[in-house]
Amino acid sequence: MAGQQQMMEMPDMSNAIVAQDENGRPFIIVRDQGSKKRSHGIEAVKSHILAARQVSSILKTSLGPRGLDKILISPDGEINITNDGATILSQMELSNEIAKLLVELSKSQDDEIGDGTTGVVVLAGALLDQALELIEKGIHPIKIAHGFDKACKIAVANLDSIADKVNIFNDLEENLKPSSELFKAAKTSLGSKIVSKCHDQFAKMAVETILNVADLERKDVDFELIKVEGKMGGSLGDSKVIKGVIIDKDFSHPQMPKVIEDAKIAILTCPFEPPKPKTKHKLDISTVEEFKNLQNYEHDKFQQMIKLVKDSGANLVICQWGFDDEANHLLLSNDLPAVRWVGGSEIETIAIATNGRIVPRFEDLNSSKLGKAGKVTEVEFGTTRDRMLVFENTENPRAVTVLIRGSNKMLVDESIRALHDSLCVVRNLIKDNRIVYGGGSAEISCSLKVMEEADKQKGIDQYAFRAFSQALDVIPMSLAENSGLNPIGVLTALKAQHVTQGNPNLGVDCLGSDNNDMKELFVIETLIGKRQQLLLATQLTRMILKINDVIVSGTQY
């Protein structure tokens, strides 16, 4: 009997391999027959949710004005410090396909709205957390997805009902006053950014930039007319808005004038050099006479090109290509300042700003195709050799450039990202001037509304509604946690105040001002931005809940 028991307990040797160690002693490798195969169906959905939840948890600590920054180190060792959700996710190397969907989610929010990239990922992670709990209770993912969709519609309708409108004046000076609502909105978006010490200045720059390019009648803002340039050196306070264009170039010759008044600009994509034969033949020069003839030919061609430019009335040349020292000397001697190696995008920006035409051939150049600017200046930055050309008072007054200064590249880059968010907030208010209040107040109001509707639902939908409501609570709880407050205590107190006072504007006081009314503190978020957060997070959650398998190049795993 003991022998039988011993035989029963021996492992199955049918799938064993006999191997030898370095001393020649044999040993047996038994393959694990009980290894788990990759799960499909419900188990696969769970694993997808867990992968996405890890990404969301990274960003949760960066939410709000007291959110923490992240250090991003690129493969070549470059360091970047930011708390911008889209930037953090774009530089993370993720191997999981489901986690990559959250990166796309953040990118969608950034492209469409420009602000709220951290919040949308945190909300999506909270929805997936709640979905996981319902799946473990035995509810099918498709049922959960449908329930979340219905709950999202109720939350979006609630946002419309609690929204207020901000006043946008036709006069630029009125909008730039610290008391104007547009100025306050721009300032709010900068609260969690690195430029908070220059709050008012950057908010003013954002409002001025947007209103210069905005078409208030059509409620449209063309971001193509806005250029943001960063330059190291100086302080953040030296940043300014220039009504015109800045390019990171200087004049081709150091003796050319540094300031050109009433500039008439020839914008060329043809090089300042003699035409070359477009064949594979070679030109052999065997005598001095032939060489002199070639030299005279080149000189005559240069003179002809310069004459065509001068005859058109131009007093400044912008060339996409380079030119040699001879051409440079001839341009100088003919009092024709020039800029070479100007990139394609910069050429287009100059053409738009100066109402000029890009000319591909010297023969096509005439006075009607010249760009016009009131003043072109070569600006030097301190003791460095860095120079830039500033085109001011251009023909198209809607072309605006924002010059950001900073002591190092990291500060300049983060300031540009901060200003971009602020520009987007002001742009969104031009498109739709309705707002909801921040500090998690909108989420708490929507959470209470969805929970109220949950009691009216029949069947499984009520579970999905309650889960959606609890997911919305994660935003105010994260804000409270990042501000050093007791998240559960703060949320419970705020919900009670919402119900008893009927005030949907009560949110988390992150800055310690002893006032929970976000309307009085003017902590706002644009309605279209908040609505887009809810819709995108819900859509992504539905998408992940419907995925039960990942197939890469025909391999299922």
User: Which residues are known to be catalytic?
Assistant: 84, 117-118, 421
Q: Classify 18 as helix, strand or coil.
A: strand
- β-bridge mates for residue 17, sequence order: 29
Taken in order 366, 371, 372, 377, is the CA torsion positive or negative? negative
Q: For 301-316, what is the HEC assignment?
A: HHHHHHHHHHHCCCCE
Taken in order 232, 233, 235, 237, is the CA torsion positive or negative? negative
| Phi and psi angles of residue 261, each rounded to the nearest 5 degrees, phi first | -85, 145
| Phi and psi angles of residue 535, each rounded to the nearest 5 degrees, phi first | -65, -45
Closest CA to 527 of 157, 272, 172, 264: 157
Identity of the residue numbered 550: V
| First-to-last C-alpha distance (Å) of the chain | 45
| Segments of 329-423 assigned E as strands | 338-339, 358-359, 371-380, 387-394, 400-406
Residue 324 is given by DSSP the state -
- Rounded Cα–Cα distance for residues 461 and 458 (Å): 7
- Rounded Cα–Cα distance for residues 190 and 114 (Å): 13
Whether 332 and 317 have beta carbons less than 8 Å apart is answered as no
Whether 168 and 429 have beta carbons less than 8 Å apart is answered as yes
